[in-house]
A = this chain, B = another copy of it.
Amino acid sequence: MKKRVVIIGGGFAGLNTARVLGNKEDIEITLIDRKNYHLFQPLLYQVAMAALGEGDIAAPLRNMLANYRNVTVFKGIVEHIDMENKTVVTDFHNIPYDYLVLACGVQHHYFGHNEWEEFAPGLKTLAQAKEIRRRVMEAYERAERTTDFVERKKLLTFVIVGGGPTGVELAGSIGEMSRYTLSKFYRNIDPKLTRIFIVEAAPRILGSFSPDLASKATRSLEKLGVQVWTNSMVSEVDADGVQIGNERIEAATVLWAAGVTAIEIGKTMEGVETDRIGRIVVSEDLSIPGHPEIFVGGDLAHFVSENGNPLPGLAPVALQQGRAIGKNILLDLKTKARKVFRYRDKGQMATIGKNKAIVEFGGLKFDGIFAWFTWLLVHIYFLTSFRHRVFVLLQWGWSYFTFSYGARLIVNREWRFYPDADSCALRKEKAKKE
């Protein structure tokens, strides 16, 4: 009888498990995702900044998996995992499994202040990216038509909470857009006067990078008009700005690039250990201790690496874990011993603006135009399909030489609050420990 593998989540981890197991004999795969597409999250900020369209960084999961005849894709919502009967309970029908792969990812975390999300959207989904785009462009529209100078200043102020790569990329893009692209489009405002702040609680931004690269990135941001506030913990976010202890910035647009929390699936599973942010603690083979039939990969997994720390939530980690899970399932079927997962470090990088990036790889550290080209080539290389690569390269080329961006369209609000923010599955109201 065929082994039934159910994968929840079509991100880097889930997709790569499916690819390893695709067209293998005696295996039937069901992949469930709340969305109908795989998203290339590393470029999501470019959709938020209108440099790319949504179709450039996302592709329907069905298309990507069409040639694996043993893969069935369902767009649906997982309600809970019945571990006793080895069944996934969904909003359409129940799906029994022999192996279960959990790869649901993470969502934004507001440190106990979920009410801030309305005023400070995060950047994990396409809908959020387009909401950020809408807010940024709408702020300029409103600034152009107001006659109240105080209101105008507030509209031309952008606060990014969190100084990790996402925060830096968002701030850099707004800096570049306001200084170089928008200036000739308005009659009543000068977009070059846009105020941009990164507010970071730690003593410096880009904490995962080396201090000298982070310092160079800070200088690059400053050249684009971004002010970096470190040791600054946001104490309040409202419709008019942010409070940082005794200080206050009035801003019509606040973006959230700070903490993340795992999709709550782990907490709903009896006897499964989760860490402080809800990630599921896994064994060396990526399965849940005591449940060799359940694997966890990607941002949802808490995997302790050789240095004793959990691996970070990066695309290469998720990709490698997804493949390793697939290979371990194949080893099981051949009744061979599973392999221990080892992360091969792919380094990390962040881009600040045109010709400006920082790259860390093994012992290598570099910045400037060469880092920027490295960033560009790596992202193009890892893009989902040949079609994506061609069209993204063309659009970047176009923007590079014309210094214009793509379509800064404001289409209707299409974004909803918290319940939709998670990237794959699990209906919230049912996600409670029984």
Given A36-B141, A62-B185, A394-B391, are A92 and B409 also a contact pair (CB < 8 Å)? no
Whether the pair B416, A54 counts as a contact (CB closer than 8 A) is no
Q: Indicate which residue in B50, B76, B145 contacts A75 across the interface (CB closer than 8 Å).
A: B145
Which residues from chain B contact A360 at a C-beta distance below 8 Å? none
Query: Complex: how many Å from CA A394 to CA B398?
Result: 14
* Copies of this subunit: 2
Q: Indicate which residue in B54, B58, B93, B146 contacts A145 across the interface (CB closer than 8 Å).
A: B93
Whether the pair A55, B58 counts as a contact (CB closer than 8 A) is no
> Interface on chain A toward B: helix, strand, loop, or mixed SS?
mixed
Which residues from chain B contact A54 at a C-beta distance below 8 Å? 53, 407, 409, 411
Whether the pair B66, A185 counts as a contact (CB closer than 8 A) is yes
Whether A35 sits at the interface, judged by CB under 8 Å, is yes
Whether A59 sits at the interface, judged by CB under 8 Å, is yes
Whether A309 sits at the interface, judged by CB under 8 Å, is no
Whether A412 sits at the interface, judged by CB under 8 Å, is yes
List which A58-88 residues lie within 8 A (CB) of chain B. Answer: 58-60, 62-63, 66-67, 71-76
Which residues from chain B contact A59 at a C-beta distance below 8 Å? 407
Query: Size of chain A's interface in residues, with CB distance under 8 A?
Result: 57
Query: Complex: how many Å from CA A11 to CA B187?
Result: 21
Whether A238 sits at the interface, judged by CB under 8 Å, is no
Whether the pair B74, A145 counts as a contact (CB closer than 8 A) is yes
Whether A335 sits at the interface, judged by CB under 8 Å, is no
Whether the pair A145, B411 counts as a contact (CB closer than 8 A) is no
Given A55-B407, A58-B409, A60-B409, are A36 and B76 also a contact pair (CB < 8 Å)? no
Q: Indicate which residue in B56, B184, B185, B402 contacts A60 across the interface (CB closer than 8 Å).
A: B185
The chain B residue with its CB closest to the CB of A75 is: B141
Whether the pair A137, B409 counts as a contact (CB closer than 8 A) is no
Whether the pair A37, B185 counts as a contact (CB closer than 8 A) is no
List which A146-205 residues lie within 8 A (CB) of chain B. Answer: 146-147, 184-188
How many Å from the CB of A61 to the closest CB on chain B? 9
Known: A53-B54, A412-B415, A412-B420. 16 other contacts (CB 8 A): A36-B409, A37-B407, A50-B55, A53-B53, A53-B55, A53-B56, A54-B409, A55-B406, A58-B407, A62-B186, A63-B408, A72-B187, A76-B145, A130-B414, A387-B398, A414-B415
- A-B CB contact pairs (8 Å), 10 listed: A36-B409, A36-B410, A53-B56, A54-B409, A54-B411, A56-B407, A63-B408, A75-B145, A76-B145, A92-B145
| Closest 7 pairs (CB-CB, A-B) | A414-B414, A55-B407, A62-B185, A75-B141, A53-B53, A127-B412, A72-B187
